[in-house]
Chain A
Amino acid sequence: MTPDKSLRGRYVIAGIGATAFGKLGRDTLSLHVEACAKALADAGIGKDVIDAVFVKAPTSSKEFMYGQRVAQALGLAPRWGGAWDQGGAANITLIAFAIMAIEHGQCEVALVSYADNPRSGSRGFYERARGNDSAYGWFAAMGGYGMIQRRHMIEHGTPAEAFGAVAIAARRHGAQNPHAQLRKPLSWDEYRASPLLVDPIHRDDACLLSDGAGAVVVMSAERARQLRVPAAVPVLGFGAGQTTCDLTLRESLTSTEAVRSGRTAFEMAGVTVSDVDVAQLYDCFTITVLMTLEDYGFCAKGRVAEYVADGALEIGGRLPINTSGGLLSETGMPGMQLIHEGVRQIRGTATVQVAGADVCVMSNQGGVMHTHATLIVGSS
């Protein structure tokens, strides 16, 4: 199977917009509206051209026809739209769906939006019983990630320093982001002293829990020129992959869907990992970043500890990641903030800017590594 390389660079993220992050105490519809209005303003367009509205379903409440409620709140009657439940891989996946729908003449300009309020609302989704295995005390996403992390440590001897390197990089970058929820740099000693929550996961391996919203506008590069969009960022490639919900049903705990997803996205984009200047990698837990680096091919499986050593993931290092702080520092939002930061890096407007960033890869993933999606943007 070969992805359609003719799409490369022919679609753009035309605008980005976000609310504040943290404990907001607001309903998700009003958060969507604020983020979408800002994304439209960033693209320099009115809402009248929008004919598709794709949203990620919120975790804090399940509502019937939620995607249609968002469109209604935006005063829109789109051709295509709906809420997508795929966990944290949804935002990139929805951008890919928007591009494919536009390519085939079903719509022209799409809003992709995410809003949730698990911090002021319910965090129950993240702490839920994992089926009947709750009888054994098997609860929370953190338990699943811990099980994967332990297996990675068993098979590859992955040391604490590797996990710490991810957290320290995200926190260093997030500390410089005036919009970040947690603006507190993290030292190695502080990381080591961070309490164990679900051993082997320390508190500082785990992402934030946040209210907030983020949206992007997706259209063709040609339409962006017609509409005089000021800072459109070309999409070079995307891909996705999914595996089982239950960890017990996976052949391997130490290989993820980042393999298939990344391979597809890099092939479509016509770039390799050596072309990547900066990465925004889903950091719900530090293990996720390490395995994504391996599975995208930045280093061989089991060698990630060497790859991330000596500040490699920090600004000035070999591959700066999560330059606005990621889920560990900017906001626990599941992935849209990473897309926004990728767009800013290519525009050259990031707070922690990688000089001359030409190619940025972003990962989204959901559940306990059930779903994965990859997006590559670049100056084309």
Chain B
Amino acid sequence: MATTAPALELDKIDEAYWAALAEGRLTLQRCECGERFMPPRAACPACLGARWAWETAEGGGRLKSWVVYHVAFHETFRDRVPYNVALVELDEGPRMITNIVADNALLTAEARVRFVATREGDRTLARFELVT
């Protein structure tokens, strides 16, 4: 039974990000120029250089916005509706698309959230829990 979303398009840098997630670490890139960025990419969007290194996120963040899908645009999500997709801002600064592992009715703006690595099929996702 299919339990994962469509195939991801992973280049080498993406693969390193997903490999770290599989080990339970949420990583972002930090450039020598000071810029921290996500999602993974080869060149720093601020200075355009490649003098960056992986940094493990502390895991805390805030819920900035979210939607709840009542329709599935892909068959693997058909049995999950209604499910949320959230925009979380990490304490380090970068923002990411994720899911909040909570009842949709409990989601509130600026809620504190914490990273939780979630195994799903052959993939580990970076989801967040509400900090209560």
Contacts and interface: CB of A to CB of B under 8 A. Distances in A.
B87 A247 contact: yes
A195 B70 contact: yes
Interface in A188-212: 195-201
Contact of A137 (B14, B38, B80): B80
A140 B73 contact: yes
B125 A199 contact: no
Nearest to A147: B65
Contact of A132 (B14, B69, B109): B14
Contact of B66 (A134, A147, A249): A147
A136 B65 contact: no
Contact of B64 (A133, A146, A151): A151
Contacts of B14: 132
A248 interface: yes
B43 interface: no
Contacts of B67: 143, 146-147, 150, 198-201
A126 to B, nearest CB: 9
A251 to B, nearest CB: 10
B95 A248 contact: yes
Interface in A61-103: none
Interface in B78-132: 80, 82-83, 85, 87, 94-99, 104, 109-110, 120, 123, 125, 127
B23 interface: no
A135 B123 contact: yes
A44 to B, nearest CB: 46
Given A129-B74, A248-B94, A137 B85 contact: yes
Contacts of A151: 64-65, 87
B33 interface: no
A199 B70 CA distance: 7
Interface residues of B, number: 39
Contact of A129 (B5, B10, B70, B98): B5
A132 B18 CA distance: 11
Contact of B97 (A136, A200, A201): A136
Nearest to B96: A248
B34 interface: no
A138 B68 contact: no
B128 to A, nearest CB: 11
A136 B6 contact: no
A154 interface: yes
A139 interface: yes
Contacts of A140: 73
Given A136-B125, A137-B99, A248 B9 contact: no
12 contacts: A129-B5, A134-B6, A137-B85, A138-B85, A143-B85, A150-B65, A199-B104, A200-B67, A201-B67, A247-B97, A248-B87, A248-B97
Interface of B: 4-6, 8-10, 14, 38-39, 45, 64-71, 73-74, 77, 80, 82-83, 85, 87, 94-99, 104, 109-110, 120, 123, 125, 127
Interface of A: 127, 129-140, 143, 146-148, 150-151, 154, 195-201, 246-249, 253
Given A136-B127, A139-B77, 4 more contacts: A127-B73, A137-B69, A198-B70, A199-B68
